[in-house]
Amino acid sequence: MGNEENRFEKRQDKKNINKKSLVKRIILGALAFILIFFISIFGYFYFKYGSFLGEVFNIVKDVKQDVIKVEEPINVLLLGMDIGDTSDVSNKDAKRTDTIILANFDPITKEAKLISIPRDTRVKIGGKSQKINAAYPIGGEKLVKQLVGNILGVKVDYVVKVDYEGFRGIIDAIGGIDMYIEQDMNYDDPGQDLHIHFNKGETVHLDGKKAEEFFRWRKNNDGTGLVNGDVDRIKNQQKFINAVIDKVLSVSTITKIDSIAEILNKNIETNIPLDVTVAYGLKGLETDKNNIKMMTLPGEGKYVGNVSYYIPDEKATKELRSQLNSSNLSGRKNVIPSAARGDLSIKVLNCTKINGLAANVQKQLNENGYDKVDVGNGDPREKSEILIKDESSRAFMENDLKIENIKNGISSKYDGNGTYDVVILLGKDFKNFGEMK
């Protein structure tokens, strides 16, 4: 009897060890997911330190049942916060977004894209031209989210924010990063207590403080530095991110989980639910580094009046939108989340004498995941046209309809109450859903 009890206890101990090992693997996957995508701007989501391990353990008691299934791509806006008013470091409202990255991850293909948005990118805020890094003090993360969605033509699912204090802590927690210095870096800003000094040709071990200096450097005290300003700064950051990815994916990182979780808890703000993090974290664990692509919003620096802006290249940006919103996978229409389609409010107007044309398009839209579709009649027209409230819906329309004429702005003639995100005007050239004459 005693031998049976001992064998049972050993089986239970082995089972618990396996379960703990699985929990550790899931946490490592989540950390890989976190740091692969979010170290780009210094971190990821809000851990409840002390309860995090228990919550994950509960989620994976029965992995097949409790870990949510994820098949749709996810878009996460990553905001690295800088102090706007150096005289008041406690004033969070004064902060600007020093780094803006859209992280796109497809759990089916295991592909990740990190798109950096230069902080000088010109956008319209209240009808006036502004640099995108001025958006946060004006309208918070909601405005930044809207602007990035408009630029890239995607629905932003979640937002992650971290400041440089969090960045330093995270880099220290993973044991620092070794970087080769490609050019002299000498810059001092006493107002921010920022002093950057690296010599060309050195390989330097960067702790959190030194990593911040490397990450932020743009020019030297004598005015020399990066030829292309923020674009070249982003290239330096991407090299740093690659080094971080290598470190995070190393076996040694798993021993640092507790300290990383504590840092994340103190310094990261996000609205990503824990179950979503764990589910995508498991997928992130399977991601090969070669499937992580880093890119920058295409464009160039230009002066508009006396102000230097980064102006997106319309043609190249359209191609980037297509990359973010299409997939070659058989059996998947595209990588736009169906839930995002369901969020759009659409009005279809029949501008022909063909009875039931708008109703037919409504039916097809419903079948493709668009739940909020109204129909009506419009003034007769030859050419079909799509009117969109903002750029975030353009990719949907380009992907799902063959109507090439897509315009920004919906007049009160078609939407007096501002109810709709999209108005589709069906002209005589419209044949069937997805076809044009």
Give the span between the Cα atoms of 63 and 85, in whole angstroms: 47
Contact 299, 121 (CB under 8 A): yes
User: According to CATH, where is 3.40.630.190 located in the chain?
Assistant: 7-324
Three-class secondary structure of residue 380 per DSSP:
coil
Instruction: Give me the DSSP letters along 239-252.
Output: HHHHHHHHHHTSGG
Give the span between the Cα atoms of 413 and 274, in whole angstroms: 44
Of 233 and 42, more confident = 233
Fold of 7-324: Aminopeptidase (3.40.630)
Q: Which helix (H) or strand (E) covers residue 366, if one does? A: helix 357-367
In SS3 terms, 117-155 reads as CCCCEEEEECCEEEEHHHHHHHHHHHHHHHHHHHHHCCC
Which amino acid appears at position 312 of this protein? P
In terms of DSSP bridges, do strands 422-426 and 385-388 run parallel, antiparallel, or are they unpaired? Answer: antiparallel
pLDDT digits (tens, 9 = 90+) for 131-166: 999 999 999 999 999 899 888 888 888 888 877 787
The candidate with the shortest Cα–Cα distance to 333, out of 422, 434, 436, 437, is: 434
Fold of 338-426: Alpha-Beta Plaits (3.30.70)
pLDDT digits (tens, 9 = 90+) for 349-366: 999 999 999 999 998 888
Cβ atoms within 10 A of the Cβ of 2, count?
A: 6
Q: pTM above 0.85?
A: no
Give the span between the Cα atoms of 77 and 159, in whole angstroms: 5
pLDDT digits (tens, 9 = 90+) for 370-423: 889 999 999 999 999 999 988 778 777 877 777 889 998 899 999 988 899 999
User: According to CATH, where is 3.30.70.2390 located in the chain?
Assistant: 338-426
Give the span between the Cα atoms of 364 and 385, in whole angstroms: 17
